[in-house]
Structure 1
């Protein structure tokens, strides 16, 4: 197994078809899959990911290279995208063996930077379930603030809160940057 990567060894690139099996391994349980890909059915399969690609924009993987071998360690995309208006980051997921080591932050910063610096969008949104405390703390650290709360039902039929978080380009302008 790869050792946890320091932030400076991470890079990103567009998702390739050969990356999809690795991404399918990120959710460890049906519950995790619901949080990462709410419309997917357990277990996550390459066909399910491929089926979403037509409706997503900029599917991106985070990678780390060790011993000359590249390994996919994270995935995200824009779940929605309105040219010149807004986008919503979706499907943020990280290899379970490497969670809480900065990969999600790197990937989300990459997607935010691209939205604001490349596409020049005025704002960006992201949805996160209330039970995903590490993600909510990360998004707050990056300057995202809750703007709405929706009630959803888990696959087991239990109610769960879904936060809509928002970040404006002006708020991002003073945030620490990494290359995107």
Structure 2
């Protein structure tokens, strides 16, 4: 685990270059931001922000180590978590779990939404295992074609507010 405590805050413009360094390959970029073009640039991130809600960074000792937002948002109905990414040097240390937890709480407590969804490609096994552990369940599967021509499955996962509350009670 990490030696310091994770914190979070809204994305600042000065954070964007760090976020651009999170994807190491075109494939990783496709998984976290399918409409982006390799390599991820600050201009691409800035251009997407007007269509996003609650862009949030996770920080460790003042360093930006994770990023996420709501890719879609319907007031009073639902939001979809998007662009979730973690510094490649710090993966598998709980940062993604922390950030997803922050965004889930933001959806259910701050925005009082009844549900949260997210999309994840079938080949992103670590993410799928994390989402299952956090209580998100698959509800649909779509076929997509990657920029390099492979067919891939895109899973839609969901959690409702009541399930989240029940899990929070059990964890307490």
TM range (shorter): over 0.9
1:126 aligns to 2:123 (yes or no): no
Whichever structure has more helix as a proportion of its residues is 2
1:96 aligns to 2:92 (yes or no): no
Who is 1:38 aligned against?
A: 34
* TM-score of the aligned structures, taking structure 2 as reference length: 0.96
Q: Which residue among 13, 20, 23 is the counterpart of 2:16?
A: 20
The secondary structure found in structure 1 opposite 2:66 is strand
Who is 1:53 aligned against?
A: 49
Take 2:86 and 2:72, find their aligned partners in 1: how far apart are those partners? 20
1:157 aligns to 2:149 (yes or no): yes
RMSD of aligned Cα (Å): 1.1
Residue deviations 1:17-75 (CA, integer Å, cap 9, x gap): 0000000000000010000110000000000000000000000000011xxxx100000
Counting matched residue pairs gives 169
Residue deviations 1:84-143 (CA, integer Å, cap 9, x gap): 000000000000000000000000000000100111100010000000001000100111
Question: Structure 2: which 5+ runs fail to align?
Answer: none
Take 2:110 and 2:137, find their aligned partners in 1: how far apart are those partners? 22
* TM-score of the aligned structures, taking structure 1 as reference length: 0.92
